[in-house]
Amino acid sequence: MPEKRVALVVGAASGIGAATARRLARDGFRLAVADRDQAALAGVATETGACAFPVDIADEASVTTLFDAVEAALGPVAVLVNTAAISPMKPGGGMLGMADTSSDVIRRVMDINVLGALWLSREYSLRADRVERGDGRVVLLSSSAARLGGMRSAVVYSTSKGAIQSLVKGLARELAPRAITVNCVAPGLVDTPMLRAGLDPAQDEEANKAVPLGRIGTADEMANAIAWLVSDQAAYMTGATLDVNGGYHML
């Protein structure tokens, strides 16, 4: 059946978000892509034929403006995917220890990774009655760091990703009467600019050994999981965290 739903992918300028935009475009969605990096986003929009919108998800008003603009251009957002986040590193690279994490960095990570996801979730919820029954999907991005502790990432990052797993459970319960599902994907190590900020290709052999399937994952593999979650096939899955990590973390 041809896809009639409007999908909004936030964080679509890079990595997993860009791969998700390419995949959802191939799946025939009426696609909107958003990011704060407008130059990179323009490339993804050209490639996918999506409508591009600027957003800073740390800014509540910017999130409202985004939903208004997408709705005016394409119609109500049925499918929301948020991949936008940051993972702070030590200046010059390397894992940022708790004692060295400044108040500004803690606030910035929480503003983007947690409050950003909440502003998007609230804006989606406010407009949920415009989504046709059975069409609605929300997919957020957690991380294996949420349950493993960040072996390569800062404590503030794992904290923010743990919050996403709680967020999806609460929102899933609230939106279930409307048959809207809410889930998150928890990637392990995925070859994107975010991972590469802390992992030199010279360390790949060691990183690969830490993964039972023997390799770092790809952004396309994350997009496959997201595409499934937003499809009809996943209509009975909600409030869940889908671990897509090559066995890096098993629970």
Ligand X SMILES: NC(=O)c1ccc[n+]([C@@H]2O[C@H](COP(=O)([O-])OP(=O)(O)OC[C@H]3O[C@@H](n4cnc5c(N)ncnc54)[C@H](O)[C@@H]3O)[C@@H](O)[C@H]2O)c1
Q: Does 150 participate in binding ligand X (rule CB under 6 A)? A: no
Contacts of 212 (CB under 8 A, 6+ apart): 246, 247, 248
CB 149, min distance to ligand X, A? 13
Q: Is 135 in the site for ligand X (CB under 6 A)?
A: no
Choose the stretch contacting ligand X; rule: CB under 6 A; options: 31-39, 98-106, 176-184, 232-240.
31-39
Instruction: State the Cα–Cα distance between residues 187 and 194, nearest whole angstrom.
Output: 12
| 189 contacts 216 by C-beta, under 8 angstroms | yes
Q: Is 157 among the catalytic positions?
A: yes
C-alpha–C-alpha distance, residues 84 and 53, integer Å: 14
Q: Does 85 bind ligand X (CB under 6 A)?
A: yes
Residue 180: phi and psi, rounded to 5, are -95, 130
Asked whether position 58 contacts ligand X by CB under 6 A, the answer is yes
Element (H, E) at 118: helix 116-126
Rule CB under 6 A: is residue 17 a binding residue for ligand X?
Answer: yes
Candidate list 3, 27, 37, 220; residue touching ligand X; CB under 6 A = 37
Other beta carbons less than 10 A from residue 228's beta carbon: 15
Shortest distance, CB of residue 129 to ligand X, whole angstroms? 26
List 63's β-bridge partners, or say none. none
**Contact window for ligand X (CB under 6 A) among 93-101, 165-173, 184-192, 223-231:** 184-192
Residue that has been written with the tokens 């060295």 in this structure = 100
Q: Structure tokens of 44?
A: 């993804």
Given 7, 9, 15, 223, the residue binding ligand X (CB under 6 A): 15
Nearer to ligand X, 108 or 127 (CB): 108
Asked whether 13 and 37 are in contact (CB, 8 A), the reply is yes
Using the rule CB under 6 A, give the single segment among 13-21, 165-173, 223-231, 235-243 that binds ligand X: 13-21
Among 48, 121, 165, 192, binds ligand X (CB under 6 A): 192
For 84, 138, 148, 166, 240, the CA distances from 34, given in Å and listed in that order, are: 9, 15, 30, 24, 25
Q: Smallest distance from the beta carbon of 154 to ligand X, in angstroms?
A: 12
Can residue 56 be called a binding residue for ligand X (CB under 6 A)? yes
Name the residues that contact ligand X, by CB under 6 A. 11, 13-17, 35-37, 55-58, 83-87, 112, 116, 141, 143, 187, 189-190, 192-195
- The set of catalytic residues is 157
